[in-house]
Amino acid sequence: MRFSSGLILALPALAVAEEQIPLLDKVKGFFNMATAAVSSSIPAMPSAPINAASTKAAASAAAAIQHRITLENWKEVLTVDPTASPPTAQDWLIFATGGNSTCFGLCGNATTAWNTSLPILAAKPNAPKFAYLDCETENILCNSWSIGAPALYYFQIPKPLADQSAPVPTVRYQSLNRTSTTTETFKHLIVDNEIEKVEPYEGVFHPFNGALQKYNLAIPYGYVTWGFAKMPSWMPMIIISFLSRSFMNKRMAGPTPAESRAAAARPAQ
């Protein structure tokens, strides 16, 4: 990916003025300039090799910043720095994506925008930690959280107090449009802190405090919903037809000899 000459010429001016600009404003300004430069340097219909190289470079840069979330490690990853002094909380931002079976092959646009935005999001003051959840390979975890990719899951995880008690982590869930999500979408949500305005989620699928987690039903629920998703569309109709036929045949056949004898042995009312 090549940046336009306009951005290169603008760098000296940024260096002169940087002492007078607050850090957050510099991050926002750099985000806008980088986004404009990237947009202007990519043709309206780029060739496949250029697009593939750009996507690979962005994914490589993003991989160095974010943690990969799996069914086995998510509770160990989504924690607070043990050296931090309570009361404090660790912010985690998880990007959930998918593939052909979980996203109908339409998550590529949002994933590219996320990977391109991530290095600049990480430059934000007090930036959250970043994680990546692939629902194509971690479909049990995504189903247990009831995630529809692409989406953002924003966690604020408090550190336990001296008595080892801790408030419930605050979670906010924001779904993303599969076709219109851009780098500006993530700038608006993260750099501009719009995600803080999303109503915290407190339902049964809360990853830490939901009813499914409390009663150890989240993982079984994930397997059940995954099994239904893998089931061919004609299979439920066959099962329903088989059960209804069995029920009707039993009703039409009348009572069995044992049932008839039991009925005859009962005293008359």
CB atoms within 10 A of CB 246: 10
Whether pLDDT at 129 is above 70: yes
145 and 20 in a common domain: no
Distance CA 200, CA 163 (A): 26
203 and 160 in a common domain: yes
pLDDT in tens, 213-260: 999 999 999 999 888 777 666 656 676 776 677 666 666 665 666 666
In the predicted model, what is the mean pLDDT of residues 173-191? 94
Residue 232 lies in a domain: no
Residue 240 lies in a domain: no
- DSSP string spanning 139-182? HHHHHHHT--SSEEEEEEEEPP-TTS--PPPEEEEEE--TTT--
* Residue 126 pLDDT grade (very low, low, confident, very high; cuts 50, 70, 90): confident
Distance CA 173, CA 152 (A): 6
In the predicted model, what is the mean pLDDT of residues 189-199? 93
65 and 163 in a common domain: yes
Structural domains of the chain, count: 2
* For the ranges 12-21, 213-222, 259-268, the one whose mean pLDDT is highest: 213-222
Strands 67-68 and 129-134: parallel
77 and 4 in a common domain: no
> What's the pLDDT at 156?
93
Whether pLDDT at 63 is above 90: no
Q: Under DSSP, is residue 91 helix (H, G, I), strand (E, B) or coil?
A: strand
Whether pLDDT at 66 is above 70: yes
Distance CA 50, CA 42 (A): 9
Q: Omega before 87 cis (within 30°)?
A: yes
> Which structural domain, as residue segments, surrounds residue 18?
1-41
Q: Residue 218 corresponds to which tokens in the numbers above? A: 């989240």
Residue 147 lies in a domain: yes
Give percent of the chain above pLDDT 70: 60
Whether pLDDT at 138 is above 80: yes
Residue 214 lies in a domain: yes
* Residue 44 pLDDT grade (very low, low, confident, very high; cuts 50, 70, 90): very low
Q: In what order do the strands lie in the sheet with 67-68?
A: 67-68, 129-134, 89-97, 151-158, 170-175
Residue 180 lies in a domain: yes
> What's the pLDDT at 101?
85
Whether pLDDT at 9 is above 80: no
Torsions phi, psi of 192, nearest 5? -85, 0
Q: The domain spanning residue 222 has which CATH number?
A: 3.40.30.10
Give the CA distances from residue 37 to residues 30, 80, 101, 136, 237, in Å, rounded to whole numbers and listed in that order.
10, 36, 34, 32, 54
Average pLDDT, the chain: 76
In the predicted model, what is the mean pLDDT of residues 102-110? 90
Whether pLDDT at 102 is above 80: yes
Q: Who wins on pLDDT, 199 or 159?
A: 199
Classify residue 149 as exposed, middle or buried by CB count within 10 Å of its CB (0-12, 13-18, 19+).
buried
In the predicted model, what is the mean pLDDT of residues 101-109? 89
Residue 184 lies in a domain: yes
143 and 34 in a common domain: no
Distance CA 75, CA 69 (A): 9
Q: What is the DSSP letter of 218?
A: H
